[in-house]
Amino acid sequence: MASLKDMRVRIAATKATQKITKAMQMVAASKLRRAQATAEAARPFAERMEKVLGNIASTVTDLESAPKLLGGTGRDQVHLLVVCTGERGLCGPFNSAIVRLARERATALMSEGKEVKIFCVGRKGHEQLRRNFEKQIIETVDLRGVRNLQFEHAEGIASKVIALFEQGGFDVATLFFSRFKSVIAQVPTALQIVPPVFEAKKEAAAGAEASYEYEPDELEILGELLPRNLAVQVFRALLENNASFYGAQMTAMDNATRNAGDMIRKQTITYNRTRQAMITKELIEIISGAEAL
């Protein structure tokens, strides 16, 4: 049985841990507002750009003359998984949920005889994936020193993916990230970015469909916008991940603070009972000694 001193040290250590988790929860809550606003502001632009590219791509009939990023290589043998995770832990299942989705996709593809390559964005994803897929990881981007995410960071990642595609390094690329839904809900998402998959063009509710003329022509526009769209989708994934990280960390630290409070109460009760038992024992010994005299 632990001594009273050991119990006091344990209670003090738990209280110190509770202060740390409470402070981390408050920091995450303060950063979440800005991260959530930034992620929500990026969604309309990314969705609208994808819709515009979908409209233009639907008018292209000759995929052989179209940019290679639109039609892909025509094969489905080599898959690149771009896995975006956080740089830090203490955020509940945020990182592991993204890695689990990517791991399941990689395992399914390899079971079908496909070749899988993994591009890690974030230290935590690399640490978890290298346990089972160390040979498949071809590159890792570390963003630990980045305080504010900028579009330049996404452009750097997108340029590496495009360069690898132009070298014939893969046929299909899929982006993995966590879409921010609420503070307690982050949805792991897989989005195919090469070749891009656009939603089916919705027919007009009434009347004839509008006809557009493009200047310059469609192929030239696609050649300019497709690499840009890839960078936009990567940037959106990074922003969604950032908001999801702070939401998950806020929830995890709140749970840790509550658990620390429960532990302190239980430890305090045990300490008081042990102390009371020792006092009672000493009183019995004193009384017994006095009666013996």
In 78-223, beta strands by DSSP E: 78-84, 115-121, 137-141, 172-182, 185-194
Q: Which of 22, 1, 5 is nearest to 261 (CA)?
A: 22
Could you tell me the two tokens for 89?
């832990």
| Residue 173 to residue 13: CA distance in whole angstroms | 48
Edge-to-edge strands, sheet with 185-194 = 137-141, 115-121, 78-84, 172-182, 185-194
Cβ atoms 56, 222 nearer than 8 A: yes
Q: Report how far residue 87's alpha carbon sits from residue 120's, in angstroms, rounded to the nearest whole number.
A: 11
Of 39, 66, 91, 120, the catalytic one is 91
Whether 91 sits among the annotated catalytic residues: the reply is yes
Catalytic center residues: 91
